[in-house]
Amino acid sequence: MVGGGFVKHLLRNHDLIAERTGVDLQIKKIAEKDFSRVPAELSSRTTDDWKSLVNDPEVQIVVELMGGKNLALEVAKAALTAKKPLVTANKALLAHAGEELFGLADKNQTGIYFEASVGGGIPIIKALREGLCANHISSIHGIINGTCNYILTRMANEGKAYEEIIVEAKKLGYAEADESLDVDGIDTAHKAAILASLAYGFWVKMEDIHIEGIRTISALDISYAQKLGYTIKLLAIIKPDENNAAQVRVHPTLIPSDSVLASVSGVYNAVAVEGDVVGKTLYYGRGAGADATASAVLCDVAEAAADLGVNKSSRFTSHDIYGKVAKIDQVETRYYVRLSALDQPGVLAQVATIFGKHGIGISSVYQPEEHSDETVPLLMVLDKAREAKFQDAYSEIKQLAVIKEPCQAIRLEDFS
């Protein structure tokens, strides 16, 4: 899809790109399994042998738009070893093998260009790498998966359950047949790893990222969150803690309904970045699709072409200000908690006592009138607490005789 968009728009906007950048981009060769997907005028330049493309001395820049990790890694390593700049939109490739590939690029004095790997057409990579280079990055909050945002938006607007919306999303093409990469937070985590690595100067490993998806989010919790003044989004949260360890986490999050990120709806993406010099900035747009992603790829190719012959770095610069990822149990945040409690006196006192024992304050309590005969929903918004303490208290509370399943806990981010 992205490859087709790239070819279409390069052919259509060739003259515009040449005028603006001073480089003449020509497609020398295309490696493709299915030749029917290639425009007829380029069929003579199409091959099913990717090695012949990479090894062609007349090919100066290699553009990898296959996706996946295994074959894409082979292609990427071959291109860099041949001292040819690599342009890629492959977030999974960079999240899992970025350190190896950027090391290989530096060794061979060539570059990797990867604007399209995060946020589609949103220029967030260039913003972090160049526009905000004079800033310590105080925080990054990103809605960077259109599928999840589409599902949560419809759940909020229509009151429908996740199970119903995901079926419709697949029919409309907003979700893959196997939706797990998106709804389980993996795709967002790939992008978070790249953003965190750029922001904090060391390669963040996927196994160090706390990841939760949206399968457990119910229409009930979305409704209750709205009544409390919050919206639920799948958020990538990246920020340093007091020990200069980088928090990198992906999970459903309550955010204030009057915040800018709460208004990002449907398949759109947005990334809010705060720097110590510039303050708060926001990057918004289409985060996926052939056209939006092709826009970023084309700009990367033009930049790579302009850089040819210049001794450029691989475009990732490490530094040692931060250097490690904070474990989730050390993260401090606020929480929304929904408990199913027996309808009898003293329940709130028992719950509050346990939270108090663990040093966790309660900001607000809300009890909806609608409930079954046996249990009533008890909603709480908690003060900031360390994750490990909260989980200990939450486990203890769920063991109370007056508390029944289902219960729910969702982290809350107020951007303060």
pLDDT in tens, 275-294: 999 999 999 998 888 899 99
- pLDDT category of residue 368 using cuts at 50, 70 and 90: confident
Alpha-carbon distances of 266 from 130, 148, 151, 155, 270, rounded to whole Å? 29, 9, 8, 11, 11
Residue 312: pLDDT above 70? Answer: no
Q: Are 240 and 322 in contact (CB under 8 A)?
A: yes
Q: What is the distance between the alpha carbons of residues 190 and 95, in angstroms, rounded to a whole number?
A: 5
Closest CA to 230 of 213, 244, 217, 246: 217
Residue whose C-alpha is closest to residue 183's, from 280, 137, 250, 255: 250
Identify which has the larger pLDDT, 416 or 186: 186
- C-alpha span between 65 and 347 (Å, rounded): 56
Q: Mean pLDDT over all residues of the chain?
A: 93
Q: Which of 8-12, 198-202, 233-237 has the highest mean predicted lDDT (pLDDT)?
A: 233-237
pLDDT at 106: 94
Instruction: Please give the class, per CATH, of domain 134-286.
Output: alpha beta
Question: CATH number for the 2-123+290-307 domain, one of 1.10.3720.10, 3.40.50.720, 3.30.565.10, 3.20.20.70?
Answer: 3.40.50.720
Catalytic residue among 29, 84, 91, 191: 191
Torsion of the alpha carbons at 181, 182, 183 and 188, rounded to the nearest 10: 110
- Which single residue is written with the structure tokens 């061979």? 108
Q: What is the phi/psi pair of residue 84, to 5°?
A: -110, 135
b/e for 356-388, b at 16 or more Cβ within 10 A?
eebebeeeeeeeeeeeeeebbbbbbbbeebbbe
Question: Is the per-residue pLDDT at 175 higher than 90?
Answer: no
Average pLDDT over residues 366-393: 90
Q: How far apart are the C-alpha atoms of 186 and 65, rounded to whole Å?
A: 19
286 forms beta bridges with 268
Is pTM beyond 0.85? Reply is yes
Topology adopted by domain 328-412: Alpha-Beta Plaits (3.30.70)
pLDDT value of residue 30? 96
Neighbours of 136 (CB within 10 A): 14
Q: Could you tell me whether strands 86-88 and 332-342 are parallel, antiparallel, or unpaired per DSSP bridges? A: unpaired
191 is catalytic: yes
Give the residue extent of every domain in the chain. Answer: 2-123+290-307, 134-286, 328-412
Taking CA 64 as the corner, what is the angle to CA 59 and CA 68, rounded to the nearest 5 degrees? 155
Sign of CA dihedral 381, 409, 185, 181: negative
Q: What does the pLDDT look like over 36-94, one tens digit per residue?
A: 989 889 999 999 999 999 999 999 999 999 988 999 999 999 999 999 999 999 999 99
Tell me: pLDDT of 6 over 90.
yes
For 311, other C-beta atoms within 10 Å of its C-beta total 7
The rounded distance, in Å, linking the Cα atoms of 187 and 308 is 32
Q: What pLDDT sits at residue 416? A: 75
Residue 242 host element (H or E): none
More confident residue, 235 or 343: 235
Share of the chain above pLDDT 90, in %: 83
Residue 406, preceding peptide bond in cis (omega within 30° of 0): yes
Model pLDDT, residue 16: 93
Burial of 398 (0-12, 13-18, 19+ CB in 10 A): middle
- Cα distances from 63 to residues 212, 262, 353, 407, in angstroms, run 32, 35, 59, 48
Backbone angles phi, psi at 240, to 5 degrees: -80, 150
pLDDT value at 209 more than 90: yes
Residues in the chain: 416
Q: What is the DSSP letter of 351?
A: H
Q: What is the pairing mode between strands 246-256 and 403-412?
A: parallel
pLDDT at 21: 87
Confidence at 22, pLDDT banded by 50, 70, 90 = confident
| Cα gap 182→162, rounded to integer Å | 13
Backbone angles phi and psi of 239, in degrees to 5: -165, 155
In this prediction, residue 166 carries a pLDDT of 95
Instruction: Name the token pair of 202.
Output: 């060391």
DSSP category for residue 15: H
Rounded to whole angstroms, the Cα distance separating 272 from 413 reads 13
Give the lowest-confidence range in 7-21, 70-84, 367-381, 395-409. Answer: 367-381
| pLDDT at residue number 371 | 66
Token digits of residue 405: 């399943």
